[in-house]
């Protein structure tokens, strides 16, 4: 992903008084739950594919204009979404769709040749795919996916890891160590450890997580820094995907170790996102440039398992309220949703990035019926 090492103004004005009248956790939880149906989850995904997916190229477009493909690292997130739908539906056609996306992205991106540094121009783009390949193997048992993940992890580790000071550099120039590669590295390593039983992955996961906690994580309130450059202080810019991958990394380590410190970290990151980053209970809109519309989709990928798998159900009313709001404010003609859940989805051209997060939440959260 292109670096997000700069500040940008988020729209903090939310016209959602009808839906959220208080901002505290207690009062948000007290509001009657709403939800969505299994049929609506299917509709949301079908609409997303109808407007952004190219059956010919087997890739996603960046906007409804369909004149450019989406960013290389974001295609991995869309592949993850396809896996979520397969887990939800178990339909053979969706399993084939996972294969199709693998084929299409392979054609586009040098058959996943990790040494091709024209196609892959930063390490963190690679790591999103390494994570996705490891997960695809877990889901399908396809050994090709596992080998792609193993090879990609090795390539990134050898080029990105700092053996002297610890942590992962996000780019080839080693300009800084960002959350967007460090926490994904932990997740990828833990998935590979699960699939291979190789304890070196487990050691690397703990190693990188320890560096990230010391350098990118506020252990008092759960805020995740975006980056650390040299010996400078961490750059604390609030992004939901960084909160999400921190949650995912901590959750996987907790699952493997039963060390409650990891679960505490995950809960701190989740609570910070809910109570501080969200305004009146609504997740931040996040910008419409540099693929930032995708960030909440990544957050969803790791936040929802914290609720269900790790039984942290205190977050469920908040998540369901966000999904209900975003779905209610969709473009009802196209059934497309928007990055700012609190306003009506624009009826003109929008990005696939900013249309993705509600769709992904709806594949992960349990429907009302």
90-93 LR contacts (CB < 8 Å, sep 24+): none
Tokens standing for residue 220: 């008092």
HSE, side-chain direction, 13 A CA sphere, residue 66: 12
Provide the β-strand partners of residue 61.
Answer: 69
pLDDT higher than 60, residue 17: no
DSSP 79-97: HHHHHHHHHHH--HHHHHH
- DSSP E strands: which ranges in 2-107? 53-54, 59-60
Residue-level pLDDT at 290: 80
Model pLDDT, residue 16 = 31
The pLDDT value given to residue 3: 42
Give every CB contact of residue 200 below 8 A, 6+ residues apart in sequence.
none
In this prediction, residues 62-84 reach a mean pLDDT of 98
Position 14 confidence tier, pLDDT thresholds 50, 70, 90: very low
Mean pLDDT of 167-185: 98
125: Cα within 13 Å, side-chain hemisphere: 23
Structure tokens at 256: 């493997």
68: helix, strand or coil? coil
Each residue's pLDDT tens digit, 208-241:
999 999 999 999 999 999 999 999 999 999 999 9
The model's pTM is: 0.91
Q: What mean pLDDT value characterizes the chain? A: 92
* 297 closest CA partner among 63, 8, 75: 75
Give the residue-averaged pLDDT of 111-137.
97
Phi/psi at 193 (nearest 5 deg)?
-60, -45
């Amino acid at each position: 992903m292109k670096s997000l090492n700069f500040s940008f103004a988020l729209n903090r004005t939310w016209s959602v008084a009808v839906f959220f009248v208080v901002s505290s956790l207690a009062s948000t939880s007290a509001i009657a739950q709403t939800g969505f149906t299994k049929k609506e989850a299917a509709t949301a995904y079908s609409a997303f594919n109808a407007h952004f997916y190219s059956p010919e190229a087997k890739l996603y477009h960046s906007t409804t204009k369909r004149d450019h493909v989406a960013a290389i690292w974001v295609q991995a997130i869309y592949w993850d979404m396809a896996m979520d739908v397969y887990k939800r539906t178990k339909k053979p056609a969706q399993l084939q769709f996972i294969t199709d996306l693998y084929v299409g992205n392979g054609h586009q991106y040098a058959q996943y040749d990790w040494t091709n540094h024209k196609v892959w121009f930063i390490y963190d783009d690679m790591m999103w795919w390494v994570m996705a390949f490891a997960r695809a193997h877990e889901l399908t048992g396809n050994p090709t996916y596992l080998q792609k993940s193993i090879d990609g992890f090795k390539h990134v580790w050898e080029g990105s890891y700092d053996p002297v000071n610890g942590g992962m550099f996000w780019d080839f120039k080693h300009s800084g160590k960002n959350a967007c590669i460090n926490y994904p590295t932990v997740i990828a390593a833990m998935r590979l450890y699960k699939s291979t039983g190789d304890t070196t992955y487990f050691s690397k996961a703990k190693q990188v997580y320890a560096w990230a906690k010391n350098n990118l994580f506020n252990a008092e309130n759960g805020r995740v820094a975006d980056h650390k450059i040299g010996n400078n202080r961490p750059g604390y810019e609030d992004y939901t995907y960084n909160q999400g991958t921190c949650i995912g990394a901590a959750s996987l380590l907790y699952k493997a170790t039963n060390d409650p410190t990891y679960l505490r970290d995950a809960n701190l990151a989740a609570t910070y996102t809910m109570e501080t980053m969200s305004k009146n209970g609504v997740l931040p809109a996040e910008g419409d440039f540099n693929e930032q519309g995708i960030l909440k989709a990544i957050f969803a990928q790791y936040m929802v398992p914290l609720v269900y798998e790790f039984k942290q159900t205190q977050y469920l009313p908040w998540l369901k309220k966000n999904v209900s709001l975003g779905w209610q404010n969709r473009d009802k003609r196209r059934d497309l949703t928007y990055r700012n859940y609190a306003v009506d989805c624009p009826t003109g051209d929008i990005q696939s990035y900013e249309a993705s997060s509600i769709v992904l939440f709806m594949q992960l959260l349990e429907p009302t019926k």
